[in-house]
Amino acid sequence: MFIYSDTNKRYHTLDYFYKHKFGCKVFKISLNGGFTCPNIDGTVGTRGCIYCSKLGSGEFAGKSSDDLIKQFNDIKNIMNKKWTGKYIGYFQARTNTYAPVNILKEKYETILKLDDVIGLSIATRPDSITDECLNYLSELNKKTFLTVELGLQSIHESTNKLINRCHSLECFAEMVNKLRKHNINVVVHIINGLPYETYDMMIDTIKFINKLDIQGVKIHMLHIVKNTDLEKMYTEKPFHILTREEYVKTVCDQLELLRPEIVINRITGDPKKEDLIEPSWLLKKFCVLNEIDKELARRKSYQGKMLESD
């Protein structure tokens, strides 16, 4: 059995991590704090990343027109019909440190005051945490369970220029180091299947982040949604979209190269059916998860196996 598993999973799931850290079921509640992004407001760009939807990757967050407490309670009440436990407020949509610290404090601490909230997860960009913000996050980290999620997507300059990330790899690595100096947990987002990336390029991205002092990773499959620059690019000049079989193989190979203590916060995409253009197989989320489990079992493999011979 894999060291960080008490089920059939051969990788370090977020559910396992939460249960062993907090002793109970823990749920992340996705929130829309009404933030914008420096890649939209003109600070570094105006069009955003080419795959980003109009909701800024916050499709499953609350409605920005609702206040944060209503957003939180609406989602919590749905979850409580099936489960009970503790909660982590997940500031998901757009860039959630991109505001003056007094505004961040008001939004974050509004959620932390709610019953059974044990922490925050904050999704942001590596170029959007000021020194003042970092100092505030450091203080917050001493009071609650805090995770900062940094978008990387790929380590390759040609890809990041194509997808309009508008920050450098050096900027990303520097911010990881700054956060870790304050003992703040870091989760990194990567995307498999980005336009024109090869298998070796995706593996190189995993090898790079595995050398960093990170605590978690989110592995996404690129999905093309309506009304994005990516949709326009794909319509005008179609590029290869990974098949489910290619994705499963790539993910399993990546897992074998990741340190076993790194928590796999996500291992596939989760698009809305009405917005999705490609790939359609991504809608069958549990099928993808099951295929990953079966492939690791077939290999008699698990997260970190390829590191054992190093």
149 bridge partner residues: 123, 187
309 domain residue, yes or no = no
**Cα separation, 169 vs 158, whole angstroms:** 11
Q: 206 near 190, Cβ under 8 Å?
A: yes
6 domain residue, yes or no = no
Quote the pLDDT of residue 130: 98
**Residue 121, Cβ neighbours under 10 Å: how many?**
23
Quote the pLDDT of residue 308: 86
Quote the pLDDT of residue 310: 57
8 domain residue, yes or no = no
> With pLDDT > 90 as the criterion, what percentage of the chain qualifies?
90
Enter the tokens of residue 121.
């997860």
Q: How far is CA 1 from the centre of its chain?
A: 26
Quote the pLDDT of residue 64: 77
Residue ranges of the chain with per-residue pLDDT less than 70: 54-62, 309-310
Give the HSE-up count for residue 105: Cα atoms under 13 Å, Cβ half-sphere. Answer: 11
**Cα separation, 158 vs 262, whole angstroms:** 27
CB within 8 A of 200, min separation 6: which ones? none
Residues listed for the chain: 310
> In terms of residue numbers, what domain contains 191?
14-302
40 domain residue, yes or no = yes
Quote the pLDDT of residue 60: 63
* Per-residue pLDDT tens digits for 46-69: 989 999 876 645 456 667 789 999
Could you tell me where the DSSP H helices lie in 144-284? Answer: 157-162, 169-181, 199-210, 229-236, 244-256
7 domain residue, yes or no = no
79 domain residue, yes or no = yes
Quote the pLDDT of residue 301: 97
Quote the pLDDT of residue 57: 58
pTM exceeding 0.85: yes
CATH number at residue 127: 3.20.20.70
Per the structure, the count of domains in the chain is: 1
